[in-house]
Amino acid sequence: MPYQYARTRWVALRLAAALAVVGLVAGCVSREENSAAQEAPADVALSELTDVTLQIRDQKGGTEALLSAANALDGLPYQVAFSTFTSGPPQIEAATAGKIDFAITGNTPPIFGAASNAKVKVVSAYDGGGFGDQILVHADSPIQSVGELRGKSIAVAKGSSAHGHTLVQLDRAGLGPSDVKLVFLQPADALTAFTQRRVDVWAVWDPYTAQAETDLDVRSIAHATGVTNGAGFGVASAAALADPKRNTALSDLLVRYAKAIRWAHDNPDEWAKSYGESVGLDPEVAALAQGRSLRLPTALSDGLIGSEQELADLFAKSGQIASAPDFARWVDRRYDAALAPLYFDRG
């Protein structure tokens, strides 16, 4: 496909990226110790939340789009305000800075947050399967496997799930970051670098993967399924969790979000159409991305937290963070009882 045509098809995603002014990732800031256990305040009546506005940091086509499509924002006893970023690390930074109350990210941004003592807690989990988190090369590239990436340049968003996936794949192939050239770019810039062949490889997630598979002549040499946990996490600011009203509002919002996911799971065509319209994607791209990468509510289990610890250890081993945090100390299971009836297994 000619580059100019492919570039036109990507306008919507590039515009989404332009909405974000990406600051320092959470792994680059120093925070006071925040890993101590935090007691949940008592719930308040929903009728007392009329003066509450939850600040939600979102990604295009993410939390707000799903809640709206499922009509889950109807009848809210509080207000919500959404702002958009292109990836998870700036969301963690915003929560630590007290600018937002909650965000849903991939599996790697919370590790960077924990490594920098960010003032956040992981409060919910979502199984994404890892199907859309892939490592792409051009179809005519001689590269056939991750083991052949020595000396190659890889475009990836720093601190994103794709960053973690790349490290795991390199480690499994007996390689490390020093054996390749990691080029840290947000998706819109990575797209340009990849299509112009200024980098050899692009590590990215859906819907960017689905868009590339549809519009560009690419091959996938690796995907995260069965390699990383493929999870997403709900991350709340410590300040919001300590406030009785915002804590209660978050509990209600998380239940609404879990129900919205169930609606999307049960109505895939309707959700794909709505998702495509919200992001500006062609229907087939939207259906591909959401058909395989819809994140389903799941428990913050010891096994899941253990897999995050393994990823954190690998980040430290590879020199991507200074030291591995005890990830479990950044997990708060206060909403488990409310969410447990809405958990379901992928497949």
**Per-residue confidence in pLDDT tens, the chain, 347 aa:** 433 334 434 444 443 443 333 333 333 333 344 555 578 999 999 999 999 999 998 877 789 999 999 999 999 999 999 987 665 566 667 666 667 899 998 899 899 889 988 889 999 999 988 999 999 999 999 999 999 999 999 999 998 899 999 999 999 999 999 999 999 999 999 999 999 999 999 999 999 999 999 999 999 999 999 999 999 999 999 999 999 999 999 999 999 999 999 999 999 999 999 999 988 899 999 999 999 999 999 999 999 999 999 999 999 999 999 999 999 999 999 999 999 999 987 55
In CATH terms, 134-223 corresponds, of 2.102.10.10, 3.20.20.70, 3.40.190.10, 3.40.1000.10, to: 3.40.190.10
Q: Can you read off the two tokens belonging to residue 98?
A: 């007290």
Say how many C-beta atoms besides its own lie within 10 A of residue 165's C-beta: 28
Domain ranges of the chain: 3-128+229-342, 134-223
Fold: same for 3-128+229-342 and 134-223:
yes
Helices (H), the chain: 3-9, 11-18, 63-69, 88-96, 109-115, 161-172, 187-195, 208-215, 238-242, 244-266, 268-279, 283-293, 302-317, 336-339
User: Residue 276 in contact with residue 283, Cβ under 8 Å?
Assistant: yes
pLDDT of 84: 79
**Alpha-carbon distance 95 to 80, whole Å?**
15
CA–CA distances in Å: residue 97 to residues 90, 101, 247, 274: 10, 10, 18, 32
Query: Quick one: 3-128+229-342 is in which CATH superfamily?
Result: Periplasmic binding protein-like II (3.40.190.10)
